[in-house]
Chains A and B, each alone.
Chain A
């Protein structure tokens, strides 16, 4: 049982929204992972669609590189589009 691979589970809560990561689980293969995800993560009507992916297939950034990757964005507030005067007629921006 400990040798069952780990899968990451992504649930779409309703049509039109993105799949969001909700957690992980063990299963022998992708098919079982979908069924397990259905039973573990959608029993309170959390979703309308499930994605699973084997955890070891995910490539992630290295936390040791966080400073060089993310800190340089800190002082570049002009990248947020908050400096424009918007006409009143324009809603939902």
Chain B
């Protein structure tokens, strides 16, 4: 039985296109995935369905839920559909709950009004139990007293309180740690099955969609490019974009010699109207692709593709896939570190906040050699970022010592300015969020010029730096607002390279980027290492990234190093309980 039928849903902001005619159906008891990168319009499609578009955006087309046309309903009638008919679950567990309401109250608030006090209390317990929460302990707590995963569970229980027939989950696991992410996805799948509910899962992660969905809609720059079941889509994608996504995703089980990145960055839907939206980045694009917006056509039973050339290129795509599947590179052997460039000995860091003491690091010891690429793996709160900040002097360890290139770098403030300048030239940092790591008021040229001037690096120029990270010199005149996420991260890397450092601390450098762009940046890091002989510390939660780029890794858990070793050994034969759990949680 069809629950939801969306036909030619067009979302626009004034005269700008956000999505260009999305068509999808959801049956009762079915999980449907909408997969897309940033700017694909996936969230706006979901919001248009429940009529919760932000101001300035409007929707056209047909959205039929149980024979009711939703776009035409007045706000009052729509309210009765939300909650008991369709409900939504959002990405950010930190802002989704009202900080002044206890978690039990969130659910009680949404329950049927007809219940008595004690019935209501029992019902809250039952509902929390459904999402795997022990109500006795959690119902009385405020959101800030709960972990991200717990909050997401409370959010799910609240969304389910009115027994909806359709749940739209917008990136429900993205903000969570890998292990928690797996738990939430399992929970979602279980609840869906128990209730026979329809679910629309919105995600940027193809792997996540593959693991839980019955049917997947691949959305790119506002257009649907491929529709099909996960099994056959993974086996043999019917659109170059889907193939590109699959290929640019780093493998978690082996080292690839080079990641196949999709060129360029995701365009806005408005820039690619009247043609195949993927044509500007497509390896196989021909004249016919740019002539008109290709329709979704059934290629095989139950499988639709918007690629007009799919008949011609199918075998080529398959060939490419195969060549990548067998590609595996050897990981350079790790030398025994005798006189390391950087050594961290027994470092502890304690933060004091509001009378409470939080131990971020507990007696951590590490050593990094010249030209070595090392990973630091851990979940949020493990202390991995704190360690990186201690290395570059943004944080001062409470105890222990850091020695960099023979200089005691435990306390940057205590150093002579000569020593400090030498440290700055030795070790630099690349941050996670490319959107805030560049000064919005400075042009790229000014940012890089400043970095060059600070340490009087002779012979280097802004143009040369830009060239090093694969950007043309025209970028010097631009401000960050006019750059894509990937371009910004390139600029941030160029800025760190300006002082010709020997070691880069990279704190989650690709996790804020789109999958198709992530591979480009990872390749860039590999290139730079081979060309410049720079050593890296990669701080990340993403095990696949670690597998691709580092030789050796440390696993950090609650401020302590629980395991270390060459990546192959670490992945193939993890020793510590926590490492095993981490590796098992990677969606496959």
Check if A and B associate. Answer: no
